[in-house]
Amino acid sequence: MSILIVGSIALDTVETPFDKVENALGGSATYFSLAASYFTGPINLVGVVGEDFSKENIKLLEDHHVDLEGLQIVEGGKTFRWGGKYHYDLNNRDTLFTELNVFKDFDPIIPDKYRKSSHVVLGNIQPELQLKVLEQLDNPKFIVCDTMNFWIEGAKTELLKVLKHVHVLIINDSEARLLTHEPNLIKAASMIREMGPEYLIIKKGEHGALLFGEHMVFSAPAYPLENIYDPTGAGDSFAGGFAGYMHKTSDFSFENIKRAVIYGSAMASFCVEKFSTKGLEDLSTLQIHSRFLEFRELSKFEDDE
């Protein structure tokens, strides 16, 4: 009944108008794990790093109850590195470099003790590898999946195979439009749900998120942040918080999935308030619940009758 997370682990070099960090801990699986760790644990992590991955980073993950049996450390290898620069409006970024290093040959081998994981987060990796992960698992009951334009355009056949198994797909609005060639998001959502996922979450950055189920839609607001220091990892923190809360509660009603969307949004809002993973390293349950209540205040209104 544990939660399995598969994705990238990276060392990020990030520049924003406010600051710059070099070789800071990053990668989708890292953000997933840290965000999920506030709701549940242990987190079964499957990923790959090089020998240069620091003891401090290992310790940070361990401190957040991340089980590292599935972490492959390649002797003599270098960890995946990504460099990006955000502009003044923070909505756009340029990728400065991508050094795949050990991530290039990532083979997600699932340790025996992880095979019975009931909840799975499939990070944004080749759809073929996502399928390979699923094949190694013993009938998981809740599969959350991320993907990106690169796979939608370049590996659509494999992606469509993955989607048949997925319970919740989490993508952004441009990816939803790309996947369906449909500009209307409501129509696009129906089309995507017909591809397999029972639920679809469309992330819209500063405009919040939409959750779609059978004849049901939920609109989650974005937290009104005056100071966004580093948008890196926001989407992954969302998915981690979402999946962590779903694992904690194991309640698959639409009402509860809505709450999971809000907890995901809360984790994303903490993430972007600091550089790299700093915003997710030291939170309290009280802080997270307070932010959840702030989201409620933000979108609540009463009937007048």
Draw the binding track, 208-237, toward its own copies (x: CB under 8 A; -: no contact): x-x------xxxxxx-xxxxx---------
Work out whether 255 is an interface residue with its own copies (CB under 8 A).
yes
11 Cβ partners below 8 Å, 6+ apart?
Answer: 23, 24, 25, 26, 52, 53, 79, 80, 81, 82
Residue number with CB closer to its own copies (76 or 286) = 286
Tell me: does residue 112 bind its own copies (CB under 8 A): no
Q: Of 282 and 297, which has the nearer Cβ to its own copies?
A: 297
Q: Which is nearer to its own copies, 47 or 240 (CB)?
A: 240
User: Within positions 133 to 192, which residues make up the interface with its own copies, using CB under 8 A?
Assistant: 183-187, 190
Question: What span, in angstroms and rounded, lies between the C-alpha atoms of 28 and 49?
Answer: 13
Which residue stretch of 23-31, 95-103, 160-168, 207-215 sits at the interface with its own copies (rule: CB under 8 A)?
207-215
Nearest to 153 by CA among 126, 134, 172: 126
Q: Rounded to whole angstroms, how far apart are CA atoms 236 and 234?
A: 6
# of chain residues touching its own copies (CB under 8 A): 44
If one asks whether residue 113 binds its own copies (CB under 8 A), the answer comes out as no
Minimum distance from residue 290 beta carbon to its own copies (Å): 11
Closest to its own copies by CB, 13 vs 265, is 265
Considering beta carbons, is residue 97 or 301 the nearer one to its own copies?
301
Considering the rule CB under 8 A, would residue 98 count as an interface residue with its own copies? no
* Closest among 115, 119, 121 to 138, alpha carbons compared: 115
Give dist(CA 302, CA 82) in Å, integer: 46
* Binds its own copies (CB under 8 A): choice among 20, 116, 164, 207: 207
Among 34, 262, 272, 288, binds its own copies (CB under 8 A): 262
Using the rule CB under 8 A, is 285 a contact of its own copies?
A: no
Stretch in the footprint of its own copies (CB under 8 A) among 18-26, 77-85, 110-118, 251-259: 251-259
Tokens matching residue 123: 């990070």
Is the CB of residue 212 less than 8 Å from the CB of residue 170?
no
b (16+ CB within 10 A) / e for 257-292: bbbbbbbbbbbbbbbbbbbbbbbbeebeeeebeebe
Q: How far apart are CA 244 and CA 236, in angstroms?
A: 12
Nearest distance in Å: CB 32, its own copies: 21
C-beta of 145 vs 202, nearer to its own copies: 202
Residue 185: CB minimum distance to its own copies, A = 7
The single residue among 139, 157, 284, 300 that binds its own copies, judged by CB under 8 A, is: 300
* Residue 250 beta carbon to its own copies: minimum distance, rounded to whole angstroms: 13
Site residues (vs its own copies, CB under 8 A) = 88-91, 183-187, 190, 204, 206-208, 210, 217-222, 224-228, 249, 255-256, 258-259, 262, 289, 292-293, 296, 298-305
